[in-house]
Amino acid sequence: MLKVSQINTYYEKSHILHSVSLEIKADEIIGLLGRNGVGKSTTIKSIIGVVPPQSGSILFQGKETIGLQPYQLARLGIGYVPEERRIFPPLTVRENLLMGMKHGKKPNQDNGWTIERIYHFFPALRERDSIKGGYLSGGEQQMLTIGRTLMGDPRLILLDEPTEGLAPQVVETVANVIREIHRSGVSVLLVEQSMEVIMDLANGVLIMAKGEIVFRGTPEELRALPEVRERYLEV
């Protein structure tokens, strides 16, 4: 589904990602862990084209994507849930969801994600249907951001810290939706601070430190390596 090979990404003259490589297969959830400031969000932004790499290769379903704009990548089938959420405060919940639809899709067509399907998993959004996004709580805004992305029917979804700052009950709701996304045939790259969330959801785990991937393995392998967790994840 996605193959990232030896990408190097900079913010002006600061070298952030150092020859980062990763792969995501079809119907796979890959979790990316690491402390704050190590390059996890930059990895996602590099893939979606917000901060294009200066070298390396990114293949999505065999097509080179470096050089494409984020909207072009969305049309190809890559969804992005940013850490900042970036909803449209003046628009209602329903209007925000409609903004995520691809051109030509009908709001209630049978195949793919619909507003009703989003409301099934996020009933709090149904109750807020006509409320402007700016009046939503943090948890509701996160639900809305995920729902808006799903309305584009992505084949791959990139989630940047989707449970950060949320109440435990909302975290479980978000986790259940990620499971449903996976069951529906969508591949997932999940960036998280919470090791528990990653270990519960992911097929494979990557750990990043100082702009490099320093661990690749399964959740079971990571559980068996306390020295790795202590060195790269624990405070």
pLDDT tens digits in sequence order for the chain, 235 residues long: 999 999 999 999 999 999 999 999 988 999 999 998 999 999 999 999 999 999 999 999 999 999 999 999 999 999 999 988 889 999 999 999 999 987 656 655 556 789 999 998 889 999 999 999 999 988 899 889 999 999 999 999 999 998 888 888 888 888 888 888 888 889 999 998 888 889 999 999 999 999 999 999 999 999 999 999 999 988 6
Q: CB within 8 A of 175, min separation 6: which ones? A: 163, 197, 200, 201
Measured CA to CA, the distance from residue 150 to residue 135 in angstroms comes to 22
Measured CA to CA, the distance from residue 63 to residue 75 in angstroms comes to 13
Q: 160: phi > 0 → left, psi -120 to 50 → alpha, else beta; which?
A: beta
